[in-house]
Amino acid sequence: MQLISRVIGSGGLALTLALAPAMGWAEPAAAQAAASPAGAPAGEVQVTVLGVTAPFFTFGIVKRLEQIPGVQHASFNLLHGRADVQLKPGAVVTDDELRQAVRSASYSIGGIHWIRRPDAAGSASTAGIAAVNQGTK
Q: Which residues bind another protein (CB under 8 A)?
A: 48, 50-64, 67, 75-81, 103-108, 110
Select 76 or 118, whichever has its Cβ closest to another protein.
76
Candidates 132, 136, 119, 122; CA nearest to 50 is 136
Select 44 or 117, whichever has its Cβ closest to another protein.
44
CB of 123 vs another protein, minimal distance in Å: 30
Residue 123 near residue 60, CB atoms below 8 Å:
no
Select 77 or 133, whichever has its Cβ closest to another protein.
77
Report helix, strand or coil for 76: strand
CB of 60 vs another protein, minimal distance in Å: 3
Give the separation between CA 44 and CA 9, rounded to whole angstroms: 38
- Look at the chain and count its residues: 137
Rg over CA atoms, the chain: 18
CB of 29 vs another protein, minimal distance in Å: 14
Select 44 or 124, whichever has its Cβ closest to another protein.
44
